[in-house]
Amino acid sequence: AVYHSISALSSLHVQMLVKMLVCMQPVFLWAGKPPMFGDYEAQRHWQEITYNLPVHEWYFNTTDNNLNYWGLDYPPLTAYHSLLCGHVASLINPDWVELHTSQGFESSAHKLFMRATVLIADLLMYVPAVVLYCFYLSEGSNRKKVCLVLCILLYPGLILIDYGHFQYNSISLGLALWGVLGLGLGWDMLGSLAFVLAVNYKQMELYHSLPFFCYLLGKCFKQGMAGRGLFLLVKIAVTVLVTFTLCWLPFLTDPGQVLQVLHRLFPVGRGLFEDKVANTWCSLNVLIKIKTILSTDTQLYLSLAATLLAALPSSIKLLTKPTLWQFKLALVNSSLAFFLFSFQVHEKSILLPALPVCLLLGDLPLPAVWFLQASTFSMLPLFLKDGLFVPYAVTSSAFVFYSVYLLSALEHSSEEELRLRPVRRLVCLPRVDLGRIFYLSVAAMAGLSFMSVALAPPARLPDLFPLLVSVFSFLHFLGLLLYFNVVQIAEPPSPRRKNPKKTE
């Protein structure tokens, strides 16, 4: 009972404090380049657009709405959220959302307001989901649950992107987490509803769609397609369709509207990748210049094939065995496969596999911490551009230290605990000291981070450090993709497995 009150409250408080400290940083010009207007201005602009213009003009290029200047490229829920924020902004100070004249507006009061919207969205959507997950869907003592809450909320990637860079990932990830919660607690319709809302907030959530689909379909199959299973399937399908309709209602009047929105959401004119991102194509590009060798269409088909191939084993396994444990693993495997092999992947998309890995912090602490640290590290070039090196260094160190300390990650790294027992029968695993390798990896990441900020790259290779960062992260992601796939698929199919579904 002690842990519930004091430590839970303190943990929530501390993470709020960390977030506010991160977002209140003045931009520090380590890289010597001026900070771009960036996502902050984009969000402010969307408030301006949605507040001032009628709905049918939001996604179109008009005289009032120049799509080249941070055009809206997220689904309708983001637009509605911007509308709400725009209304609140105009109540406080109409100058903030004045059409045309408010472009590039910056003041410390406005900064406070914008950061406050992120915090409020976070506190309403993401934090309660995390707390409920830790207390109802994870195992262990109360102390462990509170430690889990703290560690998940301290994940640096999300904090730095949402509060440092400026985004609302906490809403989409929070909704996805509510989806997982719903499914985990057996409320399938609510879970589906939440997930559909998540997809309608950011289309990137489609990375998670395959596991949701396979889990629900598998559950329907298990309940028998003749009776209850079919009924469940129908209920879920109706929920999904109704939710989609409600979200897209203002746009359904005109098919041209729908097409334009889809066109904004999925720009297929671009190439396989842009900038340096820690996925296969970018890393492959170092050795073979695939961007120039293959045509855009071939690239599209290649990436589609590779993604499906990578995500298939996990999805099939989930279809045959729809439990929460499998579901969590499938979420990781699927989104990681999408990240590594998909088209036009942005480095921020690593947050999508990161969320389910956070959920695995309680069960597989060492691999989870390793992945989460690598994911934060992979976004280093982005943080450097935003002048966020100090918050990055501090939050990463804090996260690694506290996760390893509070969750005893290094003590729970035996073969049994890494769920690799079934593999041992097939393949003889070498005896490695995972702890030492983990420390070496973290030290390498720290070293590369410091070099990126302290040293200037050689003149012949100006992109040396971002490239090293992305290749290093890619290798980690590939290795961990293999590991998580092995854990998921090697699990024996008997239904008598301990199911971490409900605790007292």
Q: What is the contact surface with another protein in residues (CB under 8 A)? A: 2-3, 5-7, 9-10, 13-14, 16-18, 20-22, 24-26, 28, 108-109, 111-112, 115, 143-144, 147, 390-391, 393-395, 397-398, 401-402, 405-406, 408, 411
Shortest Å, Cβ 167 to another protein: 19
Shortest Å, Cβ 149 to another protein: 15
CB nearer to another protein: give 120 or 429.
120
- What tokens appear for 451 in the block? 């070099």
CA distance 269 to 480: 31
Following DSSP, what letter does each residue of 8-45 receive, concatenated?
A: HHHHHHHHHHHHHHHHTPPP--SSSSPPP-HHHHHHHH
- What tokens appear for 286 in the block? 């170092």
CA distance 234 to 238: 6
Closest residue by Cα to residue 342 from 305, 368, 315: 305
Shortest Å, Cβ 180 to another protein: 26
Shortest Å, Cβ 3 to another protein: 7
Which residue is listed with tokens 């950061």? Answer: 115
Under a CB-based contact definition with an 8 Å cutoff, are residues 274 and 247 in contact? no
CB nearer to another protein: give 323 or 395.
395
DSSP state, 346? -
Shortest Å, Cβ 116 to another protein: 8
- What tokens appear for 426 in the block? 């097939």
Letter string b/e over residues 175-187, b meaning 16 or more CB atoms within 10 A of that residue's CB? bbbbbbbbbbbee
CB nearer to another protein: give 390 or 489.
390
CB nearer to another protein: give 8 or 467.
8
Shortest Å, Cβ 112 to another protein: 6
CA distance 351 to 188: 24
CB nearer to another protein: give 21 or 489.
21
Residue 133, classed as helix, strand or coil, is helix
Shortest Å, Cβ 26 to another protein: 6
SS3 for 45-93 is HHHHHHHHCCHHHCCCCCCCCCCCCCCCCCCHHHHHHHHHHHHHHHHHC
Closest residue by Cα to residue 80 from 182, 163, 171, 166: 171
CB nearer to another protein: give 18 or 131.
18
Shortest Å, Cβ 489 to another protein: 30
Shortest Å, Cβ 17 to another protein: 5
CB nearer to another protein: give 115 or 276.
115
Single-letter amino acid, residue 434: L
- What tokens appear for 503 in the block? 């605790």
Helix, strand and coil content of the chain, in percent to the nearest 5, comes to: 70, 0, 30
Instruction: Give the angle 223-224-225 at the CA atoms, nearest 5°.
Output: 125
Under a CB-based contact definition with an 8 Å cutoff, are residues 238 and 196 in contact? no
CB nearer to another protein: give 393 or 446.
393
Shortest Å, Cβ 296 to another protein: 44
Shortest Å, Cβ 439 to another protein: 16
First to last CA, the chain: 14
CB nearer to another protein: give 30 or 244.
30
CB nearer to another protein: give 12 or 345.
12
CA distance 392 to 399: 10
CB nearer to another protein: give 402 or 439.
402
